[in-house]
Structure 1
Amino acid sequence: MTINLDHLGELVKTLSHEELNEVTKSSLSSLFKCDAVLSDLPSDITYEEITNLTAVEHGQSITIIVAREDEVPLKVIVPQKATVKDLKKAVARSFENYQNRTGSKVKISWKYLWKTYNLCYDSLLLDNDNSSIDDYGVGNKVTLTFKKKRNMRKAM
């Protein structure tokens, strides 16, 4: 298949920015659907997500599943030497990407969420933001859950 670049250049000049964006998105979507390796990627994948997936393939990052009560689990990608704080930021980014794809408009106060809940792995609370997730034994393809923090003032 040969492409006449002069014709393509003239065509691109006649399209508006929005039209060119739409043509690009539909072309990528068609490409993703036809390719066996790319078929499981969302058509609106971001550069950050591509970089993260590439890092996982090269063994530089790990995938963690975050189970949510009565909701679809989130797949979160973090570097192997990530801290709990890095993991929390990755959870927030993954959730925002999930919301954008599903069209959900629910506003989450991450500050409140992290004050109220800890991430939990194998009955261990990931409660120190500066600790490495490796210190808690968190590795590739593990499942984390949310656990409500105990109110220390009421316990005293």
Structure 2
Amino acid sequence: MEDISDLASTLTHDEIIEVTKSTLSTLIISDPLLSDLPPDIVLEEVLAQTAVEHGQSITIFISRDDEPMLKVIVPQSATVSDLKKAIARHFELYQKRTGSKVKVSWKYVWRTYDLNFEGIILDDNCSKIDNYGVTNKVTLTFKKRKKKRKI
């Protein structure tokens, strides 16, 4: 234990952070449960992945036209509103990792697009997603909303 404290006192703060990051990265890669997570994970992602393994959460894939699929984790009892918030959070992490600085107006996105599951539109934000038949490892798509005609 003295060796660790001696070593810690000789390293700078930045060096200790680098050693910690590399150690965590090695542990994550070697763990079969966490190995598919990115190396710069946040605590929220670790907790979500653990909840999936314990059967408390489900994984939902979000298909976007010409973009890569998003993998979103939500609790089994999530509402459509919870799912939308999880999509927004996951997309923010995705943008941060890719270095994109584009600001997304989620108010515009949800006003313009609906989430679609096998032809069913998830339109009630207060309804639970399992009411629409959404279960683990299903794929949802964005579907452009049709404009309501004024009479």
User: Structure 2 length as normaliser, TM-score?
Assistant: 0.92
Match of 2:82 in 1: 86
Q: Over the residues paired in the alignment, what is the CA RMSD in angstroms?
A: 1.5
Match of 2:63 in 1: 67
Give CA deviations for 1:86-114 in whole Å, capped at 9, x if unaligned: 00000011111111222222211111111
Question: Where in structure 2 are the equivalents of 1:114-133 lying within 5 Å?
Answer: 114-133=110-129
Give CA deviations for 1:107-145 in whole Å, capped at 9, x if unaligned: 111111111111000111111100000111100000000
Matched residue type, 2:78: A
Q: Give every structure 1 segment of 4 or more consecutive aligned residues whose post-TM-superposition deviation is greater than 6 Å.
A: none
- Residue 18 (1) aligns with residue 23 (2): no
1:58 and 1:84 mapped to 2: Cα distance? 22
Match of 1:112 in 2: 108
Most deviating of 5-14 and 53-62:
5-14
Identical residues among aligned pairs (%): 60
Matched residue type, 2:27: L
Gaps of 5+ in 2: none
Matched residue type, 1:98: Y
1:57 and 1:149 mapped to 2: Cα distance? 35
2:34 and 2:24 mapped to 1: Cα distance? 10
Contact 2:62 2:140 (C-alpha < 8 Å) held by counterparts: yes
Gaps of 5+ in 1: none
User: Structure 1 length as normaliser, TM-score?
Assistant: 0.89
Q: How many residues align?
A: 151
